[in-house]
Every structure is written in C-alpha cells, then in structure tokens.
C-alpha cells in the first residue's frame, strides 16, 4: 500500500466500518472492468480463487481443502438449522466459478449461483454448475417469480457492496419464515491485527480501496444481520492467520511468506477431526480472533 491509508468511518447504527466516502457505483464498475481480474490472477485479491484458476496439483489441493473445511462447515451448519419439511435448495450470491455450488450439490442440495462476472460464470457453467449472470436484485425481479430457497449464502460478498444493510433487508424480504442466510466476511480491525501492527510496525494492510468497502468484525456482523430482522443461529471464525505473522511468517512484509503460512494452515485444518476444528472455530469468536467471521441466521 502506497500513499496515505484510506479513510474509514463507523456506521452509527451497527458499528461496522466503511470507506469514507463510499465509492460511487461507476467508480466500482470501472475498477471491476479494468483492474480486478488481473489483481485476482496476481493473488492480490481473493487468493483462494487465484490458486484454483492457476490449475494443476496446487489447484486440486486448494479445492480439496476448501471443500473439506469452509464448505463442509458451512453446509453442516445450514443442514442443522434448516427447516426439515422443505427440500434443501441453495442460492449462492456472488458464486464466482461455483465451487460452493459443487460442494452443495455433492451434499444433496439443489444449488443455483448468481455471478455478475461473465467470465467467472462461464467458467463455472463449463463445469456443469447452474450460474446466472445476474445480481440478486435482477434475479428476484424475474417475471417468472423465482421460488424462495431454503438458504442464501454470501461468502466474501457483503464487504464489497455499497449498501450491505439494504441487501440484507432485501434477502430477508425474499426468504420464507425459517429461511436461512449465511454470511462470511473478513474479521477486520480485530485484536490480532492490532498486535501485528504494534509488534511489526505494519500499516492497516487489510484496507483495500475501492472494492473492499465495509469492515466487519464478529460483533458488528451479527448486529447488522439482526438489524435486518434475522435471528442468529450460529457463528464461528476461521483460522487466525495473523498468528502466522506474529510467529515469523510475516506475509504482510514478505509476499513469499504467504504460501508458507497458508500451507501451515491447510495442514492443521485437514489434520484435525472436523468436530475439533469446528469447536476451535467457535471458541475464537468471544476472543475476537479469526481471519473471517461466519454467521448463519434465520427468518423468525
């Protein structure tokens, strides 16, 4: 990051932070059309997708890890809290190339993705995944009136939208009683990030303008979802990567340390029993730790 750190402000109602000013819609459109795809390919945005798109053995290992951890944990929680009297149907907003759709299909869900990126949607459709090139607003506005799904997922989406409160409200209005929403966002301005800054002298490297607009933590994500009318059923964190920097793999200062730290994380998460991994993930929430925060909530 060069130049001054971007300014952030605090939402007066729910406490999450956001860029100040919030980027205009046309500025974001230009960014996604001109720079975002190249930044993903370089690993500067969405590194999991970059590793998958690179292909080869590393892509296979990354895909297997994501399916065995993030996807398995998310689908496990959704299955626990879903209404038993309705078929398991999933709508994944911002589905990318559809990796979660594939995992959900293997677990018995009927899954549809919404992905505004034509390139990503085409890659996913070539793999046999059902992906519409549409925003959520366009999808629900279809003249054929799509049925409300059992669950809607947003994995690393809410931090990128200009009006996260409005989007959650629209999702709440679309879902039936008992319908679920699952949201994963980075857990930013967290205590371990503060320790990395104090101990290693780094700037706030997690602020990524203009596309990373909103900055939630465990408490503010749950508060924002409750504010949209949902009842929180479950919340957990994923691995606190900042520990790696504090233990010597300083991926902030040295990009070469990033793959080393990531491999250590993968080995840990695949080595432990899933029940232990899930218990560890929930223990992190009251500490404020974890690289991402995940909430599953229902329409009361």
Residues 32-64: tens digit of each pLDDT: 766 666 666 666 666 666 677 667 888 889 999
pLDDT the model gives residue 32 = 72
Domain 10-298, CATH among 3.40.140.10, 3.40.50.300, 3.40.50.150, 3.40.190.10 = 3.40.50.150
- Provide the token pair at 103: 């995992």
pLDDT the model gives residue 47 = 65
Q: Lowest-confidence range among 49-63, 101-115, 153-167?
A: 49-63
| Rounded Cα distance, 90 and 77, in Å | 13
Rg of the chain (C-alpha set)? 18
B/e letters for 168-189, b = 16+ CB within 10 Å, e = fewer, are: beebbebbeeebbbbbbbbbbb
Contact 193, 242 (CB under 8 A): yes
Stated pTM of the model = 0.93
pLDDT the model gives residue 143 = 62
The percent of residues in the chain predicted with pLDDT above 90, rounded, is: 79
- Sequence ranges of the domains in the chain: 10-298
| Rounded Cα distance, 82 and 74, in Å | 12
Residue 299 pLDDT more than 70? yes
Residue 66 pLDDT more than 90? yes
pLDDT the model gives residue 118 = 85
Residues 179-200: tens digit of each pLDDT: 999 999 999 999 999 999 999 9
Q: What is the 3-state secondary structure (H, E, C) of the chain?
A: CCCCCCCEEECCCCCCEEECCCCCHHHHHHHHHHHHHHHHHCCCCCHHHHHHHCCHHHHHHHHHHHHHHHHHHHHHHHHHHCCCCCCCEEEEECCCCCHHHHHHHHCCCEEEEECCCHHHHHHHHHCCCCEECCCHHHHHCCCCCCCCCCEEEEECCHHHCCCHHHHHHHHHHHCCCCCEEEEEEEECCCHHHHHHHHHHCCCCCCCCCCCCCEEECHHHHHHHHHHCCCEEEEEEECCCCHHHHHCCCCCCCCCCHHHHHHHHHHHHHHHCCHHHHHHHHHHHHHHCCCCEEEEEEECC
pLDDT the model gives residue 128 = 96
Residue 146 pLDDT more than 90? no
Measured CA to CA in angstroms, residue 295 lies from 9, 40, 116, 298 at distances of 23, 25, 24, 10
β-strands 231-237, 292-298: how paired?
antiparallel
Higher pLDDT, 142 or 133: 133
Mean pLDDT of all residues belonging to the chain: 92
B/e letters for 78-96, b = 16+ CB within 10 Å, e = fewer, are: bbebbeeeeebbbbbbbbb
Residue 240 pLDDT more than 60? yes
Residue 1 pLDDT more than 60? no
């Amino acid at each position: 990051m060069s130049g001054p750190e971007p300014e952030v402000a605090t939402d007066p109602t729910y406490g999450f932070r956001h860029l100040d000013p919030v980027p205009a819609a046309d500025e974001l459109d230009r960014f996604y059309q001109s720079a975002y795809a190249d930044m993903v390919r370089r690993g500067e945005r969405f590194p999991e997708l970059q590793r998958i798109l690179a292909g080869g053995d590393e892509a296979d290992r990354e895909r297997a890890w994501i399916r065995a951890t993030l996807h398995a944990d998310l689908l496990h929680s959704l299955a626990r809290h879903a209404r038993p009297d309705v078929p398991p149907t999933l709508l994944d907003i911002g589905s990318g190339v559809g990796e979660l759709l594939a995992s959900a299909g293997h677990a018995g869900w009927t899954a549809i993705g919404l992905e505004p990126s034509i390139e990503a949607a085409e890659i996913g459709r070539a793999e046999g995944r059902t992906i519409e090139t549409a925003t959520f607003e366009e999808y629900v506005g279809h003249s054929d009136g799509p049925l409300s799904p059992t669950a809607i997922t947003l994995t690393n989406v809410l931090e990128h939208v200009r009006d996260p409160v409005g989007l959650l409200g629209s999702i709440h209005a679309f879902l039936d009683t008992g319908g679920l929403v699952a949201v994963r966002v980075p857990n930013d301005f967290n205590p371990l990030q503060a320790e990395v800054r104090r101990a290693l002298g780094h700037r706030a490297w997690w602020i990524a303008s203009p596309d990373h607009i909103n900055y939630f933590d465990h408490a503010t994500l749950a508060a924002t979802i409750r504010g949209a009318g949902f009842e929180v059923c479950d919340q957990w964190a994923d691995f606190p990567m900042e520990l790696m920097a504090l233990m010597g793999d300083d991926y902030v200062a040295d990009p070469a340390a990033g793959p080393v730290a990531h491999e250590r994380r993968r080995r840990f998460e695949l080595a432990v029993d899933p029940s232990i991994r899930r218990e560890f993930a929930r223990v992190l929430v009251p500490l404020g730790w974890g690289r991402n925060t995940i909430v599953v909530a229902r329409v009361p």
